[in-house]
Structures are given as C-alpha cells and as structure tokens.
C-alpha cells in the first residue's frame, strides 16, 4: 500500500534523518528527511544514481558532515514526505539480535514459560529469574544470536502471521545501525562505530522458540523469529549525534490503542556499547548492519494475549519516531 507515513509531529530528534522512500510506481531511493517532514533525494544531491542508504553508511565518516550541510541548505529542492511511501531504512547484510537484555522482561518470560512438570509458584520462579539476571550482569555475558535480512519489512507495512505460528508476539527494540567496520572493539570505542539508531519490532512465535522434540539443542530462532516480514524496521535512521541518551529512551508499544510495553532503556542489563562490543568480539560488523538491543517487559506472553488477524501495533521510541503495522493472518493451504 502506498504512503503510510508518520505525522510531522512524531518524526524524530535532531535536524534530519535518513530514510528509504519511493514515489508511486518509482524505485526506492535514499532520502534525507528534515524535521519539518520535507524530503531531499540524496541521489541528486550527491550526484550518484546508484546510491543507497547502505552505500551511504559505508562512507559514513566522510559523508556525515556533508549531510548536515544538505539539511541546512534551504535552497535545495524538496518535496513533502506525504508524497512518498516509507520503506525499511536500510538493507543490512547482518542482523545481530539480543536476547534476555531487559531485566523485567526476562523475569516475566521465565514465569510465563512454565516447563512441563514445574509445579513451583509464580513467586518462586520469579525469584529464580531475578537471581539469574543478577548473575548474568555480574558475569558480563550478553546473549546475541543472528537474524535474517529477509525478515525485514517496512515500518507501515502489513505483517503476515504465518499459518503455523501459534503464538505470535511483539517485541519492540532499540536498534544501533553500524557505520564503520567493527571487529573486536572495546566497550569504550563501540559507540564510535554506530552511525545512528532506528526502531525494530522483533516478532517472535513463542510456540516455536524451544525445540520440544529435542530440548537438549535449546532455542530455534530460525523458526520462531525469521518469517518474512517478522521484523518491521524504521521509519528512520536518526544520526547518533542526535540521540544523546541511549540509556534513557522510552519504548512504547500499543496494541489496538492499548499500551502493552512502556519502559525505559534504563532497564537494560547490557547497554548499547556493551552489545556492539560483544557482537564484534566474534563477528566483523559491517556498515548498515543492525544490532538489536532486546525488548522490555510487556509482551503478549505476559498479558496472555498474542497477535491475531486485524491487530494494529503502534511502536515508538523517544526521538526515533513511530511505526504502525497491521497483522494479517496467512490463509493455510
């Protein structure tokens, strides 16, 4: 569907952000969007018809100052954001996803996912989860796994719920977008490799997270998280210099207008710098890659209400804008 853009009052922090847009019947193109909802086509502004947001991020250190100049240049031709469709802002090569990174969220999941034969009270299981979270923080061991770029969809696109997904759930997350190749970087250096931030809703089918046929092999993230469209992304990449306090951003997700998630990044066990550094100890992070930093309390398992056909999710993070997606059930063949 064409053009499901956010209102100008809910765009983003700072003077500009990056986006991938398209006009009717036109190709997607990299854009600079100003805070007053005006669009500058970066292909024309930078004289490069092959430009994409990812290729722009590959030259981030060299181009960042030029983008600021373009945002300030009132003489350049711009068009209203409402004329365009908003796509996921970047096509990453790699997605690094963080599990169990919000203290209260993990405790809630531990209580909701009662193992067969576990007859302990909710209070006992909650206390056990709190002890586990404290130990993880003390041992300084984040939990990172890999997602598929094919799971990404736009911030206003419909989300297809697969016919096999019995318990589809929402997970709103802050995302760091990498702007420089990063390998074995320290925590102190890590934020210097982040070009900007965006929003992801990292959908999960809770029924397929754990392999019931062979519990010894643990979680099945391929099955539970990587269906096409299971990662609505965007709408914007807001430059890091405009996001001054990643340790105190508010994440809010509403389901059909009712608030489900409403938490600060203060509840993170491991902050953005630690997550980027940790992922880089094993892998080389590339420009345009995404580091998802986990989701706070308030998912569907906690509320006893999972996603179904026709549901509308509104997700927002302080300074990063808002996304709206509608769930559509796949017709079983």
Residue 185 has pLDDT above 80, yes or no: yes
| Cα maximum dimension of the chain | 69
- Cβ contact 196:243 at 8 Å: yes
Residue with tokens 């890091």: 240
With cut-offs at 50, 70 and 90, classify the pLDDT of residue 217. confident
Span 216-238, average pLDDT: 93
Confidence of residue 4 (pLDDT cuts 50, 70, 90): very low
Q: Is the pLDDT of residue 2 over 70?
A: no
Q: Which residues contact 282 (CB under 8 A, 6 or more apart)?
A: none
Q: Per-residue pLDDT tens for 57-113?
A: 999 999 999 999 999 998 899 999 999 999 999 999 999 999 889 988 777 776 766
Predicted pLDDT of residue 26:
93
**What is the C-alpha R_g of the chain?**
20
Q: What is d(CA 272, CA 142) in angstroms, rounded to the nearest whole number? A: 11
pLDDT at 6: 44
Chain mean position to CA 250? 14
Average pLDDT, integer, range 301-317:
96
Task: Find the mean pLDDT for residues 164-186.
Answer: 97
The 3-state DSSP class for residue 104 equals helix
Among 25, 149, 10, which residue's Cα sits nearest to residue 89?
149
pTM, rounded to two decimals = 0.91
Give the Å distances, CA to CA, from 229 to 159, 260, 279: 6, 21, 24
What does the pLDDT read at residue 141? 87
> Could you tell me which residue, 106 or 196, shows the higher pLDDT?
196
Q: What is the mean pLDDT of the chain?
A: 92
Strands (E), the chain: 16-22, 29-34, 38-41, 79-80, 85-87, 95-99, 143-147, 152-153, 159-161, 168-169, 172-178, 194-201, 204-205, 231-232, 238-239, 250-255, 258-264, 290-292, 312-317, 321-329
Tokens 């190709």 correspond to what residue?
27
DSSP-derived secondary structure for 277-331: HHHHHHSPB-TT-EEE----S--HHHHT----TT-EEEEEETTTEEEEEEEEEPP
> In this predicted structure, what is the pLDDT of residue 332?
66
Q: What is the pLDDT of residues 103-160, one digit of tens each?
A: 887 777 767 666 666 777 778 877 887 787 788 778 888 999 999 999 999 999 999 9
Mean pLDDT calculated for residue range 187-215: 93
pLDDT at 280 exceeding the cut of 80: yes
Which of 11-25, 126-140, 153-167, 311-325 is predicted with the least confidence, judged by mean pLDDT?
126-140
With bands split at pLDDT 50, 70 and 90, how would you rate the model's confidence at 49? Answer: very high
Q: What is the pLDDT of residue 116?
A: 64
Domains and CATH numbers, the chain: 8-71+79-87 (no CATH), 95-329 (3.90.850.10)
């Amino acid at each position: 569907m064409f053009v499901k853009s956010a209102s100008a009052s809910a765009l983003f922090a700072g003077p500009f952000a990056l986006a991938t847009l398209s006009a009717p019947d036109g190709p997607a193109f990299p854009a600079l969007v100003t805070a007053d909802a005006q669009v500058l086509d970066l292909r024309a502004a930078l004289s490069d018809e092959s430009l994409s947001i990812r290729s722009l991020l590959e030259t981030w250190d060299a181009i960042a100052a030029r983008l600021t100049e373009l945002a300030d240049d009132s003489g350049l031709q711009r068009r209203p954001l409402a004329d365009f469709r908003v796509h996921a802002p970047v096509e990453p090569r790699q997605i690094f996803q963080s599990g169990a990174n919000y203290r209260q969220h993990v405790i809630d999941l531990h209580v909701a996912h009662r193992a067969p034969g576990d007859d302990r009270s909710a209070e006992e299981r909650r206390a056990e989860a709190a002890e586990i979270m404290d130990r993880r923080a003390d041992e300084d061991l984040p939990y990172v796994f890999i997602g598929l770029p094919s799971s990404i969809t736009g911030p206003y696109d419909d989300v297809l719920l697969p016919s096999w997904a019995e318990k589809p759930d929402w997970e709103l997350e802050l995302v760091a977008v990498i702007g420089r190749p990063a390998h074995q970087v320290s925590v102190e250096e890590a934020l210097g490799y982040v070009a900007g931030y965006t929003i992801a809703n990292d959908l999960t089918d809770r029924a397929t997270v754990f392999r019931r046929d062979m519990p010894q092999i643990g979680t099945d993230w391929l099955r539970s998280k990587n269906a096409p469209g299971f990662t609505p992304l965007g709408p914007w990449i807001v430059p890091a210099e405009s996001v001054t306090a990643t340790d105190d951003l508010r994440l809010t997700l509403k389901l059909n207008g009712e608030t489900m998630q409403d938490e600060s990044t203060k509840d993170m066990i491991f902050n953005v710098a630690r997550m980027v550094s940790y992922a880089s100890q094993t892998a080389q992070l590339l420009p345009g890659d995404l580091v998802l930093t986990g989701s706070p309390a308030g998912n569907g398992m906690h509320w006893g209400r999972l996603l179904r056909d026709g549901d509308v999710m509104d997700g927002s993070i302080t300074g990063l804008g808002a996304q709206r997606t509608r769930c559509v059930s796949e017709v079983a063949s």
